[in-house]
Structure 1
Amino acid sequence: MKTSKEIIAGPDETPQASAEPPARLRRWPRWLAGTVALLLAAVLLVAYVWQPPAVEGYRSPYLDRVHSQYADSPVARFHYTKTGQGAPVVLIAGGAQWRYSYRDTIPALAENHTVYAVDLPSQGYTEVAEDFSYTIPAMADTIGTFMDAVGLKKASLVGHSWGGAWSLSFVERHPERVDKLVLMDSPGLNKEPASQTAAFELPVVGEVAVKLMRRPDFETSLRSAFAHQDRVTAEVIDETWAWLSRPERRAAFVELARGQDYAPLDQGLGRISASTLIVWGQDDHWLPASYAREYGERIPGAEVKVIPGAGHNVHEDDPAQVNPLLVKFLSP
């Protein structure tokens, strides 16, 4: 009679594991891989295929009150307004903003100046040619393109936020075309960009974030640029969200966020020859007021004015304090 032999592991031996894991464990990796693949496909679909609905049929109360004009060029069909008489001043709005942000600035400056408030590519109602590159140099070049289109050889520039960076780039490369320069809460130092735009700089994440943005999300972001919350009315929100909700405007914003290379601007600060005014909101939660002081130290002869109790959109947030500064500085 044969007896079975019991195999006892020695001190240096381990029992042999079963060649096949239990069925439950074999199914888990396949299930997990399938789920990850589906999620990845959904994210990529949102990022690169799906388009969110844009606001339809919005009639701008502001455009009903002003006289819009258009200037054609090979780069873009610029939407702008021309107000007042005197030495020319060109107003450049910030990212995800348009000439509407200067609604309280234009009347004050127009008393002594011809004020051109323009939408650059990605802004408002300017239509851009295909394959436009949303880099800082490209955006700066459109300032010169616009000036050529409306017959301006030289002008003073007022730029806010990203619009200030584009203005700074233009004056560094074309000093002969700029009389005076005003920078309001503008990046341009070789420092970290505002944390509020960090997500849009990431591949895929940026596309998803901007496409999932809705009016309440935009309102939250806009309010963070104001210290005086009563200034952020429903009209203020709708006037920008109406066009920013368009697919091509959302895509342009992502490209702008990824083109924030300020190192070249930083290197050229000491060569700026135009008279320069730096205006900053003391309660700016996007870019700290310490940037204003650094600009003042590095741009030859620059004046610095920090506005107490004002946020990032300083000229909208507190026009009563900002407008007199601009009028005085820009006066001949």
Structure 2
Amino acid sequence: MIDVAESSEVPARWRRWRRWQRWLAGGVATLVAATLFVAYGWQPAAVEGYRSSYESRYLDTPTARFHYSRTGSGSPVVLVAGGAQWLYSYRDMIPELAREHTVYAVDLPGQGYTTVKGAFAYDIPAMADALGAFLDTVGLSTVALVGHSWGGAWSLYYAEHNPARVDRLVLLDSPGLDKPLASQTALFSVPVVGELTVKLMGRTDFEKSLRTAFAHQDRVTEEVVNENWHWMSRPDKREAFLRLVRSQDYSATDAGLARLRARTLVIWGEADTWLPVSYAQEYGRRIPGAGVHVIPGAGHNVHEDAPEEVNPLIVAFLEP
């Protein structure tokens, strides 16, 4: 025999359970909707009021409106910065090279103050094509290329496919081998998580990431952080960075190493925590005639972290 009070309690408990389920489902749906809105709809505000003192020029091509600098006179050298970097990263190198060369430092799509025109792929062939478009428009037929990190991979690909246009190539802690990507960028490759991470990134987060590319922390001054964060805080640059992370396939650059004809110098920071120094040694084995220099106590941004050691090596390498 069922007690009346007990039997009336069962539907009451069931109703409470159903209400809790509906509340939970509604909360989860709201959370998912909010997450997707932040990831794909909301745009963070860019930093306003900061003005870089760095001298710059602009050049229009069908691909992009390129932001660049030109310094010195002599044989042309083109400097290509790495990911989340711009031509400012070469501030210590430009004056040294400009004593004997015309030095062009250029922001490729997704970097600094260059703006793309229309759809852009952001993969390695597209970035190399953009570099070619800049060289064509500025009127450079044969150049020396210096590339750091991603900028080195794009320069490497360009040199592999345009051997007549690149006579010397300098790779600074550059990916390009068909090996695992830097662990620091892995989070950005995950759908939704990558969007949230790049959009919610603030100046403090950016500075923490930037510091991992330096062994000498005193090199990461307020000016260095501000000069990079100002443009990187823009919504279009955050989106471009995400697309760059997800588009860097180094199988093609790796496959072309043996046919590289440009005289090549590889410089690597021994304390690089982004890409191991063993990559430099492999470049030295696989690129015909390549020279390799490992800089003790320097990090991934080797040219900024140890300019006193790096700049003389490049000056000597570019001598006739």
| TM-score scaled by length of structure 2 | 0.95
Secondary structure at the counterpart of residue 22 of structure 1:
helix
Residues of 1 paired with 2:114 and 2:14: CA distance? Answer: 63
Within the candidate set 163, 182, 185, 1:194 is matched to: 182
In structure 2, what is the equivalent of residue 224 of structure 1? 212
User: Which stretches in structure 1 are left out of the alignment for 5+ residues?
Assistant: 5-17
Residues of 2 paired with 1:173 and 1:27: CA distance? Answer: 65
Residues of 2 paired with 1:216 and 1:114: CA distance? Answer: 36
In structure 2, what is the equivalent of residue 12 of structure 1? none
1:32 Cα shift? 2.5
Residues of 2 paired with 1:201 and 1:143: CA distance? Answer: 25
1:19 Cα shift? 10
1:49 and 2:41 are equivalent in the alignment: yes
Within the candidate set 72, 94, 97, 2:82 is matched to: 94
Q: How does 1:229-308 map to 2 (within 5 A)?
A: 229-308=217-296
1:70 and 2:58 are equivalent in the alignment: yes
1:163 Cα shift? 0.3
Residues of 1 paired with 2:298 and 2:136: CA distance? Answer: 35
In structure 1, what is the equivalent of residue 4 of structure 2? none
Residues of 2 paired with 1:103 and 1:248: CA distance? Answer: 25
1:31 Cα shift? 2.6
CA distances 1:266-304 after superposition (whole Å, capped 9, x unpaired): 111111111100000000011011110011111111111
Within the candidate set 291, 315, 327, 2:303 is matched to: 315
Q: What is the aligned length? A: 313
In structure 1, what is the equivalent of residue 314 of structure 2? 326
Residues of 2 paired with 1:238 and 1:49: CA distance? Answer: 26
Secondary structure at the counterpart of residue 156 of structure 1:
strand
1:29 Cα shift? 3.0
1:331 Cα shift? 1.0
Amino acid at match of 1:90: V
In structure 2, what is the equivalent of residue 161 of structure 1? 149
Residues of 2 paired with 1:34 and 1:298: CA distance? Answer: 58
Residues of 2 paired with 1:23 and 1:70: CA distance? Answer: 68
CA distances 1:188-221 after superposition (whole Å, capped 9, x unpaired): 1111111111111111111111100000000000
CA distances 1:121-155 after superposition (whole Å, capped 9, x unpaired): 11111121121111111001111100011100110
1:34 and 2:26 are equivalent in the alignment: yes
1:204 and 2:196 are equivalent in the alignment: no
Secondary structure at the counterpart of residue 241 of structure 2:
helix
Amino acid at match of 1:100: Y
Secondary structure at the counterpart of residue 164 of structure 2:
helix
Identity %: 66
Q: CA RMSD in A?
A: 1.5
Amino acid at match of 2:32: L
**Larger mean Cα displacement after TM superposition, 313-322 or 200-209:** 200-209
1:20 Cα shift? 10
User: Which stretches in structure 2 are left out of the alignment for 5+ residues?
Assistant: 2-9
Q: How does 1:143-162 map to 2 (within 5 A)?
A: 143-162=131-150
1:25 Cα shift? 3.1
Which is greater in Rg? 1
Residues of 2 paired with 1:273 and 1:204: CA distance? Answer: 41
